[in-house]
Amino acid sequence: MPNLPIEAEQFEKIRTKVFADSESAVRELASGIADFIRQRQTENRPAVLGLATGSTPVKLYQELIRLHREEGLSFKNVITFNLDEYYGLAPTHPESYRHFMEVQLFRHVDLPANQVHVPDGLVERDRVFEYCARYEAQIAEAGGIDIQIVGIGRTGHIGFNEPGSTRDSRTRLVALDRLTRRDAARDFRGEANVPAYAITMGIGTILQARQIRLIAWGDSKASILRAAIEGAETGSVPASFLQHHPDCAVYIDQTAANELTRFRTPWKVGPVGWDRQLTRKAVTWLAENRQKPVLRLQDEDYTENALASLLVETGSAYSLNIRIFNELQHTITGWPGGKPNADDSNRPVPAEPPFKRVLIFSPEPLDAEIGMAGTIHRLVSQRHEVTLAYLTSGSLGVPDGEARMAFSLLHELAVSGSGSRIQLDQLAKEIDSKAPFDEDSRDLRQFKGLIRRAEARASSQILRLSLDRVTFLDLPFYEQGRYRQFRWGAQDVDLVTTLMGSRKPHQIYLTGAGADPSSVTGITFHLVAAALQVCRQESWFSNCQIWLYSSNERPWPPHEIDMAVPLSPAELGIKLDCLYHHRSQRSQTPFTETQPGEGWQQAEQINRATAKQYDHLGLAEYEAIESFHRLKNVNAN
Ligand code: F6R
């Protein structure tokens, strides 16, 4: 790779390749790995690969398997070393990294079993030190790692080297960070079940690999990537230690790259083309940076902040400020379904037809409520015909404790005469005899799905949604899968397409653009987008607006908001009441960067923060705001 930095990448201390999507990134990376393996075959030498687990490398492994099956890539000369393993988990445990590797890669290729190394999670405590030293020795005996694949955690960890790890750390037993354990809570059905310790290669071990390739997808990784790639080299962001490696490259998709200076504030790295979106971004950024409302920004504010070229193109700060202020002002509406009989030339939603059919997709119960409960309440009160479609049952997110509580309630009911006692008894037995990580039976999963239905119905009623308009699609990809191992297909898309066809909506609301592509939110976004493609030719489609509501992980920044729906204090109260009804989701939501609280606390803080941002930009002061981005081009994502 050439070493000269190009202008756009001048702030990046690790060479970073940004791809339109994760598919193209893994195609390029896998093809490089395949070339290397083949090269070594011709030299009759082994290729030593360092491997990672988690959601991120799944697609890379799928591509390697494809190369094996379709292009004859053999792994006979490959030796592998995995980065880490949960301490206390047997290799056969469904959540162990060893098991993950078997399912995702090893069993599908011709890699000899004796050339595979994954740290053993069951080594006795007093033998761990010696075991780790042996792991290091095995790497050295194999000739060292040629290509090391690493993902990055939201704490900045690589392997399980959490903040505080040193640059020269070696393979060892480590305690997991709270944020990391919370991120793994879904895999383990509750944070309490996530192992507290892991064995991991050290940073020093990783840095000895001849090539390192860091991969990451989705917006939840964007800010930690910025810290790792552009920030100071520091033990509080362990991935930043990669900055001084002689051959490290980062392969990321566009959403993961969004916080890098070249995308976040591109005017700081060189000349830019000032389109409408970028202009709005620059002005709101400047107002925030200068802590001034938009209408009070002066020419000096622009020129002193690398925005002189914007003034050259637009004339003066005065006219630019007014233009952007008006654009922002026009995003605000208390009529998310359009205001009947009003002039709509400057409103985000057309006035006609006065009463619209609205279709809202929620990846799991609670997602739509978090993003837009207040707006749903408004749409219903303003007499639009709202259908709320829960795409998946959400059963995987129900901890056993919640199911147990529901059984005992039903048990009381059964004892009092109605209900099927036998079946409940069986389920109660299963849940009590199940080891913490055993798979749920079909019946138990179904029961957990029913818990989420009950919660979703109760919360919809608070929003005054008519229950016959609350639909549960229970998409097959989810019912047949487990976290990190979902595969969606035509059947899922058909179910969504059929619902769209039957509703012929004037508005569709969805979420998940930019989410990790293997998460439920990411998958459901892509399959709704695929269904929209199918419906493009339908007559209703040309009159249908598509709106993206935000998740707690990525609230819309002001320049991306196309509709801002203010909530009064009373409406915010209704929203919170609605969110509380999803009680099985306590302690299930991943912490966001700034907010460690529960999902509903995060949602409240985000809605209040958006209102504050609008206030600071010089717009009206509201209690809270729900925000939406308009998706104009389905192909774009
Ligand atoms: C996995 C590992 C971890 C993950 C990281 C990101 O072997 O060492 O550092 O790479 O936690 O996980 P995902 O890919 O699930 O976001």
Output the CA 118–ligand 1 centroid distance in Å.
15
**For ligand 1, atom 2: residue with the closest CA:** 159
The mean pLDDT value of the chain amounts to 92
8 Å CB contact between 548 and 513: yes
Residues composing the chain:
637
**Kind of pairing between the strands at 116-117 and 15-19:** unpaired
Residue 586 confidence (pLDDT): 78
Nearest ligand 1 atom to the CA of 57 is 14
Q: Is 96 in the pocket of ligand 1 (CB under 6 A)?
A: no
- Is 2's pLDDT higher than 70? no
Single-letter amino acid code for the residue at 176 = L
The mean pLDDT of 92-103, rounded to a whole number, is 94
Output the CA 279–ligand 1 centroid distance in Å.
36
Instruction: Compute the distance between CA of residue 571 and CA of residue 555 in angstroms, rounded to an integer.
Output: 19
From first CA to last CA, the distance across the chain in angstroms is 29
Residue with tokens 């504010």: 301
Residue 8 confidence (pLDDT): 72
Instruction: Compute the distance between CA of residue 207 and CA of residue 246 in angstroms, rounded to an integer.
Output: 9
Q: Is 157 in the pocket of ligand 1 (CB under 6 A)?
A: yes
**For ligand 1, atom 11: residue with the closest CA:** 153
Angle in degrees, CA 69, 70, 71, rounded to 5? 105
Give the residue from 394, 371, 520, 407 showing the smallest Cα distance to 453.
394
Q: Tokens at residue 489, please?
A: 């297909």
Q: Is 159 in the pocket of ligand 1 (CB under 6 A)?
A: yes
Output the CA 184–ligand 1 centroid distance in Å.
10
8 Å CB contact between 17 and 251: yes
530-535 long-range contacts (CB < 8 A, ≥24 apart) are 530/493, 531/493, 531/496, 531/497, 531/500, 532/500, 532/508, 532/634, 533/634, 533/635, 534/493, 534/497, 535/497, 535/500, 535/501
Residue 1 confidence (pLDDT): 46
Instruction: Compute the distance between CA of residue 501 and CA of residue 510 in angstroms, rounded to an integer.
Output: 16
For the chain, the structural domain boundaries read 22-262, 265-289+299-331, 357-398+441-630
Output the CA 40–ligand 1 centroid distance in Å.
28
Phi, psi for 200 (deg, rounded to 5): -135, 150
Of 368-372, 414-418, 439-443, the range with the lowest mean pLDDT is 414-418
- Is 420's pLDDT higher than 60? no
Share of the chain above pLDDT 90, in %: 76
Instruction: Compute the distance between CA of residue 545 and CA of residue 331 in angstroms, rounded to an integer.
Output: 15
Helix or strand (DSSP H, E) at 423: helix 421-433
Output the CA 155–ligand 1 centroid distance in Å.
11
DSSP labels for 316-360? Answer: -HHHHHHHHHHHHHTTB-S-TT--TTS--TTSSS---SSS-EEEE
pLDDT top residue among 608 and 581: 608
Output the CA 135–ligand 1 centroid distance in Å.
20
- Is 419's pLDDT higher than 60? no
- Is 422's pLDDT higher than 70? no
Residue 364 annotated as catalytic: no
**For ligand 1, atom 5: residue with the closest CA:** 153
Output the CA 253–ligand 1 centroid distance in Å.
16
- Is 153's pLDDT higher than 70? yes
Residue 479 confidence (pLDDT): 92
**Kind of pairing between the strands at 116-117 and 78-82:** parallel
Longest Cα–Cα distance in the chain: 80
- The pTM assigned to this predicted structure is 0.86
Q: Tokens at residue 251, please?
A: 């392969």
Output the CA 529–ligand 1 centroid distance in Å.
27
Please report which residue ranges of 105-231 form alpha helices under DSSP H: 128-141, 178-183, 203-207, 222-230
If DSSP codes are grouped into helix, strand and coil, which group holds residue 250? strand
CATH of 357-398+441-630, one of 3.40.50.10320, 3.40.50.10470, 3.90.1170.50, 3.90.650.10: 3.40.50.10320
Q: Is 54 in the pocket of ligand 1 (CB under 6 A)?
A: yes
Give the residue from 495, 530, 528, 499 showing the smallest Cα distance to 511.
528
Alpha-carbon dihedral sign for residues 553, 558, 563, 568: positive
Instruction: Compute the distance between CA of residue 308 and CA of residue 443 in angstroms, rounded to an integer.
Output: 64
Residue with tokens 């979420």: 511
The mean pLDDT of 425-431, rounded to a whole number, is 84
The mean pLDDT of 153-178, rounded to a whole number, is 94
Pocket test for ligand 1, best of 49, 51, 150 (most atoms within 8 A of CB): 150
User: In sequence order, what are the beta bridge partners of 470?
Assistant: 388
Give the residue from 467, 460, 450, 471 showing the smallest Cα distance to 394.
450
Q: Is 52 in the pocket of ligand 1 (CB under 6 A)?
A: yes
Count CB atoms within 10 A of the CB of residue 231: 18
Q: Is 148 in the pocket of ligand 1 (CB under 6 A)?
A: no
If DSSP codes are grouped into helix, strand and coil, which group holds residue 262? helix
8 Å CB contact between 387 and 471: yes
Q: Tokens at residue 37, please?
A: 């393996």
Nearest ligand 1 atom to the CA of 159 is 8
Q: Is 151 in the pocket of ligand 1 (CB under 6 A)?
A: yes
**For ligand 1, atom 15: residue with the closest CA:** 54
Nearest ligand 1 atom to the CA of 84 is 7
Instruction: Compute the distance between CA of residue 172 and CA of residue 170 in angstroms, rounded to an integer.
Output: 6
Q: Is 279 in the pocket of ligand 1 (CB under 6 A)?
A: no
pLDDT tens figures, 282-340: 999 999 999 999 999 999 999 999 999 999 988 899 999 999 999 999 999 999 999 99
Q: Is 55 in the pocket of ligand 1 (CB under 6 A)?
A: yes
Residue 332 confidence (pLDDT): 98
Output the CA 160–ligand 1 centroid distance in Å.
8
The dotted CATH code for 22-262 is 3.40.50.1360
Residue 494 confidence (pLDDT): 97
Pocket test for ligand 1, best of 58, 59, 86, 152 (most atoms within 8 A of CB): 152
Q: Which residues contact 7 (CB under 8 A, 6 or more apart)?
A: 269, 270
Q: How many CA atoms lie within 13 A of 181 on its CB side?
A: 15
Nearest ligand 1 atom to the CA of 484 is 15
Q: Which residues contact 251 (CB under 8 A, 6 or more apart)?
A: 17, 19, 25, 26, 28, 29, 213, 214, 215
pLDDT tens figures, 210-235: 999 999 999 999 999 999 999 999 99
Residue 612 confidence (pLDDT): 98
Residue 191 confidence (pLDDT): 77
Nearest ligand 1 atom to the CA of 221 is 16
Of the listed 95, 136, 162, 364, which one is catalytic?
Answer: 162
Nearest ligand 1 atom to the CA of 54 is 15
